[in-house]
Amino acid sequence: MSAHFEVFICHRGTETKRNLVSVLNGMLGLKGITSFVDYEMTQGTEIKSAIEDAIKISSVHIVILSPDFENSKWCLDEVVQIMTMQSSAGTSRRARKVIPIFCDVERSMVRERAVRSSYNVRGSSPEEWKLWGEAVESLCNFKGFEYHSKTSLQWEKLCEIVVEVENFLKEVDSRTSILPEQGQQRRSPTQYYDVFVCHGSDTKHNMVSVLRGMLHLEGISCFNDHDMNHETERKPLIQEAIKKSKVYVIFLSPEFATCKLCLEDVYQIMNTQNSPDTSNTACSLIPIFYDVKPSEVRYQTKRYVLSRVSESTDDERKRWSKSLKNLSLRKGFEFESETMFQWKELKKIVKRVKTCLKEPRRKNLYAKQLDEVEKVLESRICKDLFLIGIHGPNKSQFVQLLVERICNEFDGLSMRHNVIEKIREENGLSRVMGELFSDLIRISDEEPLKNHELIYGSRYRQILRTKKCLLVLFDVENEIHQMRQLVERLNT
């Protein structure tokens, strides 16, 4: 792990590390903000000293107070260290910030227990209770955020927290915002969408909220029915959105099969696959089995027994059963909320969506050559840097097909023309490097970074540190040596 951290996230791992913390850590990372989370420590690290050092180094301390937080000696000791540092901030030249997040707990109740030093931690002493109580009471005096897992939209709420962190760090280090404003996408019966997300109430506020945010960052439009409360308003818009979407992501969760509207959506989606009226005959289905097994959906067992659906008819259950069975036979993702990290798995889903949207129309064109290049990429995947040269007639068309096929395997992409001509100009190499750097850092369709923002700030190095990047350089003639020099310089 990096020896430098800007944010320390104090949390009760059993409750929040795989969901809230996983996503918050990922969102901060998108901005090049380094955060310490204990589950990313390398094996063999001395845990206690690593945590203490990270708290000392960090400028921002985020404390996620969840229901079981107060039963952890580790968590309470971390709060004591954080608040001790904060109380001595006046004697230090370094500015620090503490942000409490009250996750499914009330601030008043946390404060009350702190005042009474009401902690029941095994092996702890009255002296520790008093120390913990004073630290937590002091923490409750700081401006923070309230997060309710059943009602708060996770992506939108975490965006508020990330903005708070970034605004504070701007005072120390000039930063350019990467996450866009999170306005709701407008709904229109005539609008076409890239993605339609079908989901139940138990994934609406966490997985679905974050997935929509991640897709929005990629410039992928997604139908949003969040503020629809009445079936009469919802039904016609949903039907049109399903017809006019290219990719369907369906979260098959424990509560999904209890919702008649969700089952009807699946039925319509499966029918749309073969409908001549659909705007896209190559629509893609991505089922997500969220805390359920595919067999449970396929055979309608356990939580997918359709006879439990209230006010349903035999005909409805029959068509739902057929649709669920056909859907369960599609390749998708299995997600277990107790063992998997939300951010990591959602990145895989976003990658799959992008692949579906960019599937080449002429799949058989250059198929053999494309397969050969893909094999070379797979064989050299562990190398830090390697070059592939493409020449011959129609090379531009081939390169376009190749990029469409493999670009989702990479985190950053830059395509530049007339490279050799530009390098031969005065300061050409540095200028081309700046253009490449800008492409690899910016997200979606944001404006290129300005020259004074580019070279070679630690923040941008941090953003690229773990990225796998694809550079496509046109018109390089036979100057392979200069191309290698350019890419190696950018790599270092």
The single-letter DSSP state of residue 437 is H
Q: What is the pLDDT of residue 259?
A: 94
Cα–Cα distance, 59 to 7 (Å, whole number): 6
Confidence category of residue 7, pLDDT binned at 50, 70, 90: very high
Residue 215 has pLDDT above 60, yes or no: yes
What topology does CATH give the domain 7-170? Rossmann fold (3.40.50)
Structure-block tokens of residue 98: 């503490």
Give dist(CA 208, CA 202) in Å, integer.
10
* Token pair for 86: 């904060």
Tokens linked to 338: 């107790």
One DSSP character per residue, 304-322 reads: G-GGGSTT--HHHHHHHHH
What are the residue boundaries of the structural domains of the chain, listed by start? Answer: 7-170, 193-357, 367-491
Contacts of 43 (CB under 8 A, 6+ apart): none
Question: How confident is the prediction for the chain on average, in pLDDT?
Answer: 84
pLDDT score, position 313 = 95
Q: What is the pLDDT of residue 130?
A: 95
Nearest to 252 by CA among 307, 193, 205, 293: 293
Q: Are 212 and 155 in contact (CB under 8 A)?
A: yes
Q: Give domain 193-357's CATH number out of 2.20.70.10, 3.30.70.2470, 2.40.30.10, 3.40.50.10140.
A: 3.40.50.10140
Integer CA distances (angstroms), 437 to 177, 256, 403, 442, 443, in order: 16, 44, 19, 9, 12
Dist CA 486 CA 478 (whole Å): 14
- How far is Cα 221 from Cα 312, in angstroms, rounded to an integer? 33
pLDDT above 70 for 1:
no
Express each pLDDT in 17-30 by its tens digit. Answer: 999 999 999 999 99
List the beta bridge partners of residue 414: 471
More confident residue, 227 or 415: 415
Question: Can you give the pLDDT at residue 192?
Answer: 83
pLDDT of the residue at 430:
77
Please calculate the CA angle 85-86-92 and round it to the nearest 5 degrees. 75
Cβ atoms 266, 303 nearer than 8 A: no
Dump the DSSP string for 355-418.
HHHT--S-TTTTHHHHHHHHHHHHHTTTSS-------STTHHHHHHHHHHHHGGG-SEEEEESS
Question: What pLDDT, on the 0 to 100 scale, is given for residue 358?
Answer: 78
Q: Work out the average pLDDT over 328-333.
A: 89
412: which strand partners? 469
Q: What is the pLDDT of residues 378-410, one digit of tens each?
A: 776 656 666 777 777 667 777 877 877 777 778
User: Is there a common fold for 7-170 and 193-357?
Assistant: yes
pLDDT, average across residues 209-237: 82
Q: What's residue 405's pLDDT?
A: 74
- Among 35-49, 65-79, 259-273, 350-364, the minimum mean pLDDT is found in 350-364
Tell me the per-residue pLDDT of 279-303, one tens digit each, with 9 for 90 and over. Answer: 444 468 999 999 999 999 999 999 9
Q: What is the pLDDT of residue 293?
A: 94
pLDDT of the residue at 183: 47
pLDDT at 373: 79
pLDDT classification of 179: cutoffs 50, 70, 90: low
Q: In what order do the strands lie in the sheet with 245-252?
A: 193-198, 245-252, 284-290, 333-335
Predicted local confidence at residue 382, as pLDDT: 58
Cα 457 to chain centroid distance, Å, stands at: 24
pLDDT at 412 exceeding the cut of 80: no
Query: CA-to-CA distance for 10 and 69, rounded, in angstroms?
Result: 10
pLDDT digits (tens, 9 = 90+) for 459-475: 666 777 777 888 888 77
